[in-house]
Structure 1
Amino acid sequence: MLVPTFSFAQMKMSCCSTPGTQEFAMLSKDKDFVKSHEEPLPLNFKSDLGKDIMLPSADGKEAHIYELKAAKPTNNYLFVIHEWWGLNDYIKRESEKLYHDLGNVTVIAIDLYDKQIATTREEAANYMNTVTEARAKAIINATIKYVGANAQIATVGWCFGGGWSLQTSLLAGKQAAGCIMYYGMPEKDEAKLATLHADVLGIFAKEDKWITPQVVDEFATKMKAAGKKITVKIYEADHAFANPSNPKFNKAATEDAYATSLTFLKDRLK
């Protein structure tokens, strides 16, 4: 789809020093951004497959992950990064859906909120704003260490997790197998993008007032300048359109984006 032009307001940086995640963290101070997220509908999801695991991390704390282990030994992993609500039952349900649809792939949902789950947008804004780059990277690196040096790692994330999906693929280095980011803030440092080893599938929304089509276009240009492969899909939808708890949930766009994501992942996790 065509990428139209749209301006993006410059923001003062805070919280995380990584470009992109900085700007997204600042959106927690944007009243319009906060109000645009309707509070999620209740969901009680129970799984016989998923397990909560605590891992030691380099900062002396523990990292929380939710793992759906492949039935047979495999080096193929999908890391799932949650939205700004946290690692809630929606993310666990989506992780299990991906687990079943991908086949023999171990799916791990990474918790960047340290077991904090927001039920109101005010809580979500606070949790997102207080994530530090150092802590987030410690959690991600602990998970990379957990899966081992032979793991092929693909990543997917939405909103807050969309930006961190890309950062996770950067941290994975040569183990990165593919990156999907749903309406997340891109990395803007071209030199950093040059170190990326994974192809990127970017899924965005034309009506998104924050991760605008112009932001997406600039990202695609920088990726190509860095010699990296990116596929961009922009839907006639709004930010967070793929979240079924969102009143602006777009079923048709979500189904198409999911099918595209499955094809992308299956091609890279063989």
Structure 2
Amino acid sequence: MKKIWTLLTVLLGTAVMASAQSTMSCCTKPAGQNATEAFAMLATNEDFSGGHDAPLPFRYAGEGQPIEFKTPDGKTGKGFEIKSATPSDKYLFVIHEWWGLNDYIKQEAAQYAKDLPGVNILALDLYDGQVATTPEEAGKYMQAVKTDRAQAIIKGAVQYAGSKAQVASVGWCFGGGWSLQTALLAGKQDVGCVMYYGMPEKDVAKLKTLNTDVLGIFGSQDKWINPEVVTQFQKDMAAAKKKVTIKSYDADHAFANPSNPKYNKTFGDDAHALSVTYLKKNFKLKS
């Protein structure tokens, strides 16, 4: 009997440890990691990778052009820019999902250019030219992103926009977390931040430095950026005395991604409309 109880104790302990490890990989950040690095670690989670179908074929052929700009680390950053028809110091940084700066993101940039006349649209490339076509590639590229390099690209983009520029950002998934980081990095120049199902910043001291409110768009069925993570983000923003507006849809992760076969157009369109309304208000554009 004693041996049976010992065996049960070992099995129970193993199950608890496995459960804790699963929770750690999805919902918390290990010591020493920042929010974006914690999100990148999800690439090692088979459920997360398996939940992202390969993008459907698509080729963007609209306006805009690729650009390069200097970055503080002595290198160059890449992006895709659609300039405002009239001279403007207003810039919206568009930050890609874990696939990279593909044609779907260029299409999103073009849509924002139409929705926000008078705003320059700059889609940033945090993968330095790499674009994934499979979940395996995407996971590899997302894990390979170095925080210092991504920050240098964002800072370089802010310098490219100019010291008088007003900057806002929008991003999805991987880019959702980096949209919030962009708001932190842009400092006093930042006027808006939209983050779609991205990993929130959990350092309240950093959140206190935000110069803007935040619009967070999430899916209540998301297993990774789940309602628990979103609730904690609301608490952290409250502690930082910063405003956050949360819109949660009865949908899964990446529901607003038109390249995803599981794309929910109704929710995606509604979320986009909310984003445009928010950005118009923060940029102080005429309706």
Q: TM-score range by the shorter chain?
A: over 0.9
Residue in 1 that maps onto 2:43: 28
Matched residues in 2 for 1:131 and 1:13: separation? 17
Q: Decide which of 238, 247, 250 is 1:236's aligned counterpart.
A: 250
CA positional deviation for 1:61 = 1.5
Structure 2: segments with no counterpart, 5+ residues: 1-19
Shift of 1:122: 0.2
RCO (CA 8 Å, sep 6+): is it higher in 1 or 2?
1
What is the deviation of 1:119? 0.3
1:3-18 alignment to 2 at 5 Å? 9-11=23-25
Deviations 1:105-135 (A, max 9, x none): 0000000000100000000000000000011
Checking the alignment, whether the CA contact within 8 Å between 1:162 and 1:185 is kept in structure 2 is yes
Q: 1:43, 1:115 → 2: CA distance?
A: 18
* 1:24 and 1:160 in contact (8 A); partners too: yes
The answer on 1:37 being equivalent to 2:52 is yes
* Structure 2 match to 1:75: 89
Corresponding position of 2:264: 250
Q: What code does the residue aligned with 1:25 have?
A: A
Q: Relative to 1, partners in 2 of residues 1:57 and 1:18: Cα closer, same or farther, differing over 3 Å? A: farther
Deviation at 1:255, TM superposition (A): 1.0
Q: How far is 1:13 from its partner?
A: 6.1
Question: How much does 1:18 deviate?
Answer: 5.7
* Higher Cα Rg, which structure: 2
**Residue in structure 2 matched with residue 210 of structure 1 by the alignment:** 224
**Partner in structure 2 of residue 261 of structure 1:** 275
Percent identity between the two aligned chains: 55
Counterpart-to-counterpart distance in 2, 1:171 and 1:18: 18
1:154 aligns with 2:188: no
* C-alpha distance after superposition, 1:39-62 (max 9, x if no partner): 000101112x31111112122211
CA RMSD across the alignment = 1.5
Higher normalized helix content (fraction of residues): 2
What is the identity, as a one-letter code, of the residue corresponding to 2:146?
A: T
Query: Which residue matches 2:76?
Result: 62
Distance 1:18 1:173, change over 3 A: farther
Aligned residue for 1:4?
none
Match of 1:113 in 2: 127
Are the counterparts in 2 of residues 18 and 133 from structure 1 also a CA contact under 8 Å?
no
Q: Which runs of 4+ in 1 moved over 2 A?
A: 11-14
Return the alpha-carbon distance in structure 2 between the equivalents of residues 37 and 258 of structure 1: 21
Greater CA drift, 53-62 or 38-47: 53-62
Which deviations, in whole Å up to 9, do the C-alpha atoms of 1:57-112 show, x marking residues without a partner?
A: 12221100111001111111100000000000000001000101111100000000
Which residue does the alignment assign to 1:196? 210
Alignment partner for residue 233 of structure 2, among 195, 219, 222? 219
Amino acid in structure 2 at the alignment position of 1:213: P
Q: In structure 2, what is the Cα distance between the partners aligned to 1:118 and 1:13?
A: 25
- Residue identity opposite 1:74 in structure 2: S
Q: Does 1:170 find its partner at 2:184?
A: yes
> CA separation in 2, counterparts of 1:13 and 1:187?
10
- Does 2:139 match 1:125? yes
Output the TM-score relative to the length of structure 2. Answer: 0.88
Write the letter of the residue equivalent to 1:142. Answer: G
State the SS of the aligned residue for 1:144. helix
Shift of 1:19: 2.1
Structure 1 portions without partners, runs of 5+: 1-6
1:182-204 C-alpha deviation (Å, 9 max, x unpaired): 00000000000000111100000
Question: Would the aligned equivalents of 2:29 and 2:35 in 1 still touch at CA under 8 Å?
Answer: no
8 Å Cα contact 1:183/1:240 also seen in 2:
yes
